[in-house]
Structure formats: C-alpha cells, structure tokens
Amino acid sequence: MKCVKCRQPAVVEVRRHNAGFCREHFVEHVLRQVERTIDELHMLRRDDRILVAVSGGKDSLALWDILHRLGYRADGLHIHLGIGEYSSESTVKTRAFAESRGLTLHEVSVAEELGFGIEELSRRTRRIPCSACGTTKRHIFNRFAREHGYTVVATGHNLDDEAATLLGNILHWQTEYLGRQSAVMEATESGLVRKVKPLVRLAEREVAAYAVLQGIDYQVDECPMAVGATSHLYKEVLNRLEEVAPGTKHQFLWGFYERGRRHFPHESRTLNACKVCGEPTTGEICAYCRLAERARAAAAGTR
Ligand code: AMP
Ligand code: FES
Ligand code: ZN
Ligand code: ZN
C-alpha cells in the first residue's frame, strides 16, 4: 500500500478513510483530524489556559503532544492513583515526557489527599474500582483547574472510548447520561470548568500509531483494576463490527452527536457548592466527599 499523499510506502492504513499514509503524512493526518474536531465543536480558544489530564497512557500523552504542536498553551496534571506498580510506572512515563518537551507538569496524589490510594478506597467503600476512581479523578481535575486558573480541562478519550460509553448508555437506556454525553461540556457559573475531548475523531489504534511514530514512551499496560470491565467487551464488539464495516464506530458516535443526542433530555441542573469542599454538586455534599467520608468511617470501624 502507498501513501495517498506522496505515493511512498505506507506505514499506517486507515480503513475507514480507505487510505494509507507514510509517517510524515500520517502525523499530518492526525493533527488535521484533531484541529478539525477542535474547530467544529468550538472546543478551544487560542487564549485558553488548558490543563491536560495526563495518565501516562498513549492517549493523554499523544493529546498533550498534539496540542503543543498545534500551538496551544497546555500544562499537564497527573494524578497518582496508588495502584501499585502500574501507577508508579505511569508517573515515571509522564514525568519523562514532560521533561523531554520542557512542558509544565502538576502532580496530585490521592494517597496524600485521602490517606490511601484507589485500591483501598474501593475496598473500603465496596465500590467498583473504576467508579470510585472516576469520581476521584473528576473531582481532582475540576478542583485543580479552578484553583489554578485553568479555563479548560482536556482528556484523552478517543473514538473507541466514547463509542463504547455510548453503546453502554444505550444498552441500559441511560437517557440522562445520553442527554449529557458530549465531547464538550460547557463551564457553569457554579464552578464546573469546561471539559473537552479533542481525540474523539481518532480510533484507539490511530492514537497508538501516532504515539509510536512520535517516539512517545507510554504506559502500555492496562490498569489492573479494570480487568474484566464491561467497557472492554463493548470495545471488542465495536471492533468486530468495524472489521466487517469500516467506519461503523465513527458513524455510531458522530451520528449520535449530530442527530441522536438532541432526542434525549438535557436539562441544565442547578448546582450548589458542596458543604465540605465547595465543589459544584447537585446535592448538599458532593459524590467525592461522600465517598471519602464512607472510606474514613469504614476505617474507623463505624460501618
Ligand atoms: P480512563 O478513564 O482511564 O480511560 O482515562 C480517560 C482520560 O482521563 C485519560 O485519557 C486522561 O486524560 C485522564 N486520566 C486518566 N487517568 C489519569 C491520571 N492518573 N492522571 C491524570 N489524568 C488521567
Ligand atoms: Fe482508575 Fe484503573 S485507572 S481504576
Ligand atoms: Zn506520504
Ligand atoms: Zn465535596
């Protein structure tokens, strides 16, 4: 197969575009796809102060690299989750990347905040690890951005991640989530910082190819706590469909953004300041503070 741009041998094939690319033109293709997503969905302004949530995996490191190349001002925020070697290795990769590009990296440790990491948090509260982890990460992203004057938080969710989430939401008819599932979450007066997912036009394997071709050394291992998660099964199913009919994932997700989502309820919820931490919440005490309280109570043997 030859590169569609220059007829040199292709190193990456993108079947849904029915195209092959050489290294140089694949990198250009990825940058163009992300730029197009940012522009079409009005994700970022040139004067935004962007905080990229970086896990050390391929998606978030590639995102940071891409935003930097596109000329955006973007600092990183890495959260130490406290999931054994997986977490410590992720931190090493994140730091090395930031250093190699001279980028500013902030770090927050869950263990320093709570007294223990995600593994113990989930054990003590008997919550599924990914769910306790998600609540914790969302809380830290928003609070850190707000406290440090960042105007937008960018995460590395890609096409496969978002299509799998969409499939899960549909299978369970989570109409409220469907009304909210978006690549852009606007800021609210109550203090939610705007959130964007600039990689939603790129499949996981395209992001991986980009990271490898750019020489990004990323955490290859999956989180050990997420083994057996249903999201993996949804990704497998979608990949199977994609094999038979290239473009299925893209049509599924982008068709939803363009034509599906508006049919689901989208009420703007009134948010209050959490009585404990001040972060926006629909109730009196936010999900994170309730989780932390349950974990502390369990430790004290009161439950
Ligand atoms: P996940 O929920 O693990 O699929 O991650 C989705 C996105 O959340 C990643 O692409 C990152 O942008 C962000 N993220 C996940 N884990 C971390 C972490 N430990 N620190 C900072 N950001 C993270
Ligand atoms: Fe959060 Fe694995 S990264 S549970
Ligand atoms: Zn080429
Ligand atoms: Zn709170």
pLDDT, one tens digit per residue, over 82-122 is: 999 999 999 999 999 999 999 999 999 999 999 999 999 99
What residue spans of 83-173 are helical by DSSP H?
84-101, 110-114, 118-125, 129-147, 159-171
User: Whose C-alpha lies nearest to ligand 2, atom 4?
Assistant: 130
- The response to whether residue 121 sits with its C-beta less than 6 Å from ligand 2 reads no
Dihedral sign for Cα atoms in the order 74, 156, 191, 121: negative
- The response to whether residue 52 sits with its C-beta less than 6 Å from ligand 2 reads no
Ligand index nearest the alpha carbon of residue 137: 1
pLDDT, one tens digit per residue, over 11-37 is: 999 999 999 999 999 999 999 999 999
What percent of the chain has pLDDT above 90? 92
Ligand index nearest the alpha carbon of residue 285: 4
- The response to whether residue 241 sits with its C-beta less than 6 Å from ligand 2 reads no
Please tell me the pTM assigned to this model. Answer: 0.96
Candidate from 29-43, 62-76, 222-236 with smallest mean pLDDT = 222-236
Give the HSE-up count for residue 29: Cα atoms under 13 Å, Cβ half-sphere: 26
pLDDT, one tens digit per residue, over 153-197 is: 999 999 999 999 999 999 999 999 999 999 999 999 999 999 999
Of 34, 64, 90, 69, nearest to 153 by C-alpha is 64
Say how far apart CA 146 and CA 165 lie, in whole Å: 27
- Main-chain dihedrals φ then ψ at residue 143, nearest 5 degrees: -65, -45
- What Rg, from alpha-carbon coordinates, does the chain have? 20
